[in-house]
Amino acid sequence: MVFGKGGSASLDDLDCLPAITNGDKWNNGSTGVHHQLMCSTNDVSYQLDSSIKKVLKDHGEARQLAVDCVTISKRFVIDLITFMSQEYATWQTRGFSKKNAWQKVSQIVRRIFEDLQSARISTRNVQDFDDANFTTASFIYATLKCHDVMEAYVKHQFHAHPHVSSVITRHLAANFVKPEDSQDAKITALTNKVTALSSKVDLCVSKIALISPKEKD
């Protein structure tokens, strides 16, 4: 709901997370999505734990596996939220605009969720009411594959993960500014124009100074 709902089909939405179109919506004090997620995480965790204890009360191993999965997932979500805020702030301190910094964060998060989707794609339409064992095994397999993906991102602290590095590299390449079009080049060009105009003004002043008072009248 947070990362995928809402949004229009505009160009800006293609560069960000559909439900969070800019960085201010993500982290804006007590009204930002960051704050809302952190406040809601414990509630969601408690809700899932309660359901696990109820449904799997007679199955100790399955119950413990489910509880462990929820605990690890909660830790992953918290780490991801923290990483997003840190990454957003870091790119701004490096001189990028808020919009550009949020685009980088959005593209990284999209890649993370694409990896999670790929890990669990095998369970799409897999439910078989006539073979509960196969369905259950498929769900467990896909769940544990997702945990492998999450573990890899946490192990690399997100930023050092190869997939994140590739996203950053592509984004920087797409937004590369040629040296002749850089800020320094533009400043130099403007300085030259100002110098040329200054010379013209000085020349005009010199000519005016040579004109006699009568001619000036």
Nearest to 78 by CA among 45, 104, 101: 45
68-122 pLDDT, tens digit each: 999 999 999 999 999 999 999 999 998 888 988 998 999 899 899 999 999 999 8
What are the distances in angstroms from CA 119 to CA 2, 36, 57? 20, 27, 28
Output 165 or 154, whichever has higher pLDDT.
154
Q: Report the alpha-carbon distance of residue 69 to residue 73 in Å, rounded.
A: 6
**Which structural domain, as residue segments, surrounds residue 122?**
11-176
Residues 58 and 91 both lie in one domain: yes
Residues 158 and 202 both lie in one domain: no
Residues 36 and 126 both lie in one domain: yes
Beta pairing partners, 20: 17
Beta pairing partners, 17: 20
Residues 57 and 99 both lie in one domain: yes
Residues 33 and 68 both lie in one domain: yes
Assess if residue 5 is contained within a domain: no
Distance of CA 180 to the CA centre of its chain: 30
Assess if residue 3 is contained within a domain: no
Is-contact 104 23, C-beta < 8 A? no
Residues 114 and 206 both lie in one domain: no
Query: And the tokens for 155?
Result: 């192990």
pLDDT of residue 11: 43
Residues 80 and 94 both lie in one domain: yes
Check: pTM over 0.75? Answer yes or no. no
- In the chain, count of helices (H) and strands (E)? 9, 0
Question: Has residue 146 got a pLDDT over 80?
Answer: yes
